[in-house]
Amino acid sequence: MITLSSKTTFVVENTDTKQLEKIYLVVKGEDLLIDSVSQNLALIDNDQYKWSGMAVKTEHFIGYLDNNSLYALELDNESLLIPETSLKPFRTLLGIIPDTYFGICSRSIQLVEWNRKNKYCGTCGSETSLHLVEKAMFCKDCNNLIYPRISPCIIVLVTDNERLLLAHNKNFPTKIFSTLAGFIEVGETVEEAIQREIFEEVSIKVKNCQYYGSQSWPFPSQLMLGFHAEYEEGDLKPDGEEIDIAEWFHYQSLPDVPPGRISISGRLIESYVNKLTKKDLPGFT
């Protein structure tokens, strides 16, 4: 197995023009091949792949990982695994694998899924094939190009001075609370989506939206755009469909929330709490 250092860098690229020495990660649906000893992502070189006995359906160039060309292998359902490896759902690796690995895994899972779901042209029904230059599935009968699709979503921490608005989604398996989130609709701006989603979910209006950061979230194909926003007006009222509980929590008595190492929701919360905590320190201006 190939071990990466903390200085490893990954560069997204669609075409392997450099043809560097190849290394591979192995994908099966939302599962990834894991080294049973290190419990980390199993990256293999050409020789290991060649002698692995694995049955591979498709190969996808992902980008450059240091001085290697990185490919994702789509494993056949009946394939054997390399000794001392196992398949694990990507979700269970969140917070465990380093950030560089997260991007690689997210991109690999999404490209394999995109390829699997677009074997036929949505316009004329003919069989498609991978385009030679573009990262696209191509229909030679009607020249249709089908690019990988991501769905942008907003995820917003609403605050009112020392209070944070957190909500429980009906579909959460536990009593965990999180920030509000939703898909951006076709034709909508990000700012409009923030106002609409928050009003739909909890009936309040917000102001002073500030962009915080983003996260690729491949469950499936989402791009989470994180914002801080301030409460403006209205009484909290959960919609009852998606959100069953929505409450204001003082920053010193928060409920269970997602850890920052796993999700942008957790990072939005942590960054705001850190800001408030620093304010309490003597000499802070």
Residue ranges binding Zn ion (CB under 5 A): 121, 123-124, 126, 139, 141-142, 144
- The label of the residue with tokens 């907003």 reads 154
Q: Which is nearer to Zn ion, 111 or 121 (CB)?
A: 121
Q: Which is nearer to Zn ion, 124 or 254 (CB)?
A: 124
Least CB distance to Zn ion at residue 123 (A): 5
Least CB distance to Zn ion at residue 124 (A): 3
Q: Which is nearer to Zn ion, 115 or 179 (CB)?
A: 115
Least CB distance to Zn ion at residue 132 (A): 17
Least CB distance to Zn ion at residue 118 (A): 11
Q: Which is nearer to Zn ion, 89 or 125 (CB)?
A: 125
Least CB distance to Zn ion at residue 231 (A): 50
Least CB distance to Zn ion at residue 125 (A): 7
Q: What is the 3-state secondary structure (H, E, C) of the chain?
A: CCCCCCCCCEEECCCCCCCCEEEEEEEECCEEEEECCCCCECCEEHHHHHCCCCCEEEEEEEEEECCEEEEEEEECCCCCCCCCEEEEEHHHHCCCCCHHHHHHHHHHHHHHHHHHHCCECCCCCCECEECCCCCCEECCCCCCEECCCCEEEEEEEEEECCEEEEEEECCCCCCCCECEEEECCCCCCHHHHHHHHHHHHHCCEEEEEEEEEEEEECCCCEEEEEEEEEEEECCCCCCCCCEEEEEEEECCCCCCCCCCCCCHHHHHHHHHHHHHHHHHCCCCC
Q: Which is nearer to Zn ion, 89 or 122 (CB)?
A: 122
**What six digits make up the tokens of 243?**
């959100």
Least CB distance to Zn ion at residue 268 (A): 42
Please state, in angstroms and rounded to a whole number, the distance separating the CA atoms of residues 223 and 255.
26
Q: Which is nearer to Zn ion, 143 or 277 (CB)?
A: 143
Q: Which is nearer to Zn ion, 127 or 191 (CB)?
A: 127
